[in-house]
């Protein structure tokens, strides 16, 4: 059989290109990123975009406000797959005053740009990444934002799977937990195949995520439930609240969700991503003053504070190890990595305490060494704190390729039934 045909990919909110790199690692001959957009509105220097453009030499590299890109631009791209990591924002919607234009979401919310791209490209597949608190936001109406997203996909005629994945639980070097969302167009061969399974079979064994990220057979503490989304998305925005679990499936507004436990794989320990100590520049080692600051920041504390109204309360914080354990995978890396901050990784090697180097941070996310070289150390830390774990995307890319191959077999059988 001939090689699977190329999939045209659009990458939104590209950062330094984690999605694209993961797809290329899966199969660089199949995933063709024809258009990648990265634009940081609050910064004059566009370091992430410059890194992206420096590391990839094909396709269109867009450094512009996504809200100002025309519908025609997207229409002409003819995308098969849309990918992107987008910020967790307020996804509430309202009916327009006239009622004639349907509904409208808050301006500046980037998920609505994803919706606009989908409406103008009609990709077969959509793969998105976000922080796992998306499933529970906002705190005043738990689950509303995610329900609005699911209803949006429903109304665009897509089915959806989601899964919260901790990279370290599947053999990687960082305890980074993120929710991944895979939507696929109703009517394609994969959707027809999935319809033959029950929602439980999809989520536990047969779906998009279950193949590359296997799970235990029983849900955690029997946490499993179903719900049907209201047909009116404004009603969802105004009134709907629901406890979504860490995995689930939505088709035609019917939601099945379960709390899954991963079949654990041995993670990469922090010690295995460290560079040769002789190559670590002196600037990354802690001064005595910094050691004292970190001892306070990482230690237990109970602090009396006062509100603007004069109310006194106590802020309490538990202690954590003064240095990160080298025999365990790294903790979740934040954009504040490398600063004097409680969340910053501190390692002790040969009796000396130090920060992780930018190269070690790249390794925590599965990027090649010096992927972000050319920008300041501070920005290298920031970009890695924003990045995703590349090897997770590689597994998802392999899964998409498998789906495409099955699609082609099914299409051939439909065209030539005698050979089925």
Q: Quick one: average pLDDT of 81-109? A: 78
Mean pLDDT of 144-166: 97
Q: What is the pLDDT of residues 118-151, one digit of tens each?
A: 999 999 999 999 999 999 999 999 999 999 999 9
DSSP 359-370: HHHHHHTTPPTT
The pLDDT score that the predictor gives to residue 91 is 85
- C-alpha to C-alpha distances, 277 to 352, 372, 378, nearest whole angstrom: 10, 20, 21
Residues 6+ apart with CB under 8 A from 43: none
- 51 annotated active-site: no
Residue 1 placed within a domain: no
Does the pLDDT value for residue 94 go beyond 70? yes
The reply to whether 151 and 169 lie within a common domain is yes
- Position 412 scores a pLDDT of 57
The pTM of the full predicted model, rounded to 2 decimals, is 0.93
Q: Which long-range contacts (CB under 8 A, 24 or more apart) does 232-238 make?
A: 233/93, 233/103, 233/148, 233/151, 233/152, 233/155, 234/93, 234/94, 234/95, 234/103, 236/144, 236/147, 236/148, 236/151, 237/91, 237/92, 237/93, 237/94, 237/144, 237/148
Q: What is the pLDDT of residue 82?
A: 98
Q: pLDDT band for position 375 (50/70/90)? A: very high
Q: Where are the alpha helices (DSSP H) in 270-389?
A: 288-297, 358-364, 377-386
pLDDT score of 303? 85
Range of the domain at 227: 7-264+389-419
Q: Is residue 2 part of a domain?
A: no
Mean pLDDT of 272-282: 97
Clarify whether residues 310 and 403 are in a common domain.
Answer: no
pLDDT tier at 2 (50, 70, 90 boundaries)? low
**Shared-domain flag, residues 241 and 281:** no
CB of 174 closer than 8 Å to CB of 362 = no
- Is the pLDDT at 310 greater than 90? The verdict is no
Residues 287 and 149 in one domain: no
Domain count, the chain: 2
Whole-number average pLDDT of the chain: 93
Of 282, 260, 143, 127, give the one whose Cα is nearest residue 200.
260
State the CATH number of the domain containing residue 152: 3.40.50.150
The percentage of residues in the chain with a pLDDT greater than 90, rounded to a whole number, is 83
CATH number reported for the structural domain that contains residue 351 in this entry: 3.90.120.10
pLDDT of residue 294 exceeding 90: yes
Q: Are residues 114 and 194 in the same domain?
A: yes
Whether residue 332 is found in the same domain as residue 358: yes
Residues 228, 192, single domain; the answer is yes
Q: Which of 271, 385, 293 is nearest to 337 (CA)?
A: 385
**Of 51, 88, 361, 383, which one is the catalytic site residue?**
88
276 pLDDT exceeds 70? Answer: yes
Residue 413 confidence class, pLDDT cut points 50, 70, 90: low
Say whether both 191 and 241 belong to one domain. yes
pLDDT of residue 339: 95
Report the candidate in 7, 12, 17 with the shortest Cα–Cα distance to residue 69: 12
Residue 102 has a pLDDT of: 60
Average pLDDT of the segment spanning 4-22: 95
Q: What local confidence, expressed as pLDDT, does residue 210 receive? A: 98
Decide if pLDDT at 1 tops 50: no
CA distance 189 to 104: 32
Q: Point out the least confidently predicted range of 17-26, 45-54, 90-99, 381-390.
A: 90-99
């Amino acid at each position: 059989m001939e090689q699977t045909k190329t999939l045209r990919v659009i990458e939104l909110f590209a950062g330094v290109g984690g999605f694209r790199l993961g797809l290329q690692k899966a199969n660089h001959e199949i995933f063709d990123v024809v258009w990648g957009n990265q634009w940081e509105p609050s910064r004059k220097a566009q370091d992430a975009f410059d890194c992206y453009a420096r590391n990839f030499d094909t396709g269109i590299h867009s450094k512009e406000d996504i809200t100002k890109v025309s519908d025609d631009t997207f229409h002409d791209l003819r995308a098969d797959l849309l990918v992107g990591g987008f910020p967790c924002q307020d996804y509430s919607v309202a009916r327009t005053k006239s009622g004639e234009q349907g509904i409208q979401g808050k301006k500046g919310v980037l998920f609505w740009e994803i919706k606009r791209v989908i409406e103008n490209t009609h990709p077969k597949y959509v793969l998105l990444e976000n922080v796992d608190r998306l499933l529970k936001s906002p705190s005043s109406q738990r689950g509303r934002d995610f329900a609005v997203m699911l209803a949006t996909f429903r109304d665009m005629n897509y089915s959806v799977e989601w899964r919260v994945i901790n990279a370290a639980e599947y053999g990687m070097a960082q305890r980074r937990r993120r929710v991944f969302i895979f939507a696929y167009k109703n009517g394609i061969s994969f959707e027809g195949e999935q319809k033959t399974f029950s929602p439980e079979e999809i989520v536990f064994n047969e779906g998009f995520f279950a193949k590359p990220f296997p799970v235990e057979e029983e849900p955690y503490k029997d946490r499993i439930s179903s719900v049907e989304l209201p047909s009116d998305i404004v009603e969802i925005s105004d009134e709907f609240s629901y406890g979504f679990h860490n995995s689930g499936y939505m088709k035609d507004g019917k939601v099945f969700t379960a709390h899954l436990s991963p079949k654990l794989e041995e993670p990469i320990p922090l010690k295995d991503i460290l560079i040769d100590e002789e190559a670590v520049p002196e600037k990354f080692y802690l001064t005595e003053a910094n050691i004292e600051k970190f001892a306070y920041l990482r230690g237990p504390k109970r602090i009396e504070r006062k509100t603007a109204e004069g109310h006194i309360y106590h802020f309490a914080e538990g202690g954590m190890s003064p240095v990160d354990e080298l025999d365990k995978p790294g903790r979740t890396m934040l954009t504040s990595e490398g600063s004097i901050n409680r969340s910053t990784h501190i390692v002790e090697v040969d009796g000396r305490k130090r920060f992780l180097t930018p190269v070690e941070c790249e390794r925590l996310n599965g990027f090649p060494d010096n992927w972000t070289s050319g920008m300041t150390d501070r920005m290298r830390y920031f970009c890695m704190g924003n990045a995703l774990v590349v090897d997770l995307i590689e597994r998802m890319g392999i899964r998409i390729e498998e789906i495409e191959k099955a699609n082609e077999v099914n299409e051939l059988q439909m065209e030539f039934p005698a050979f089925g």
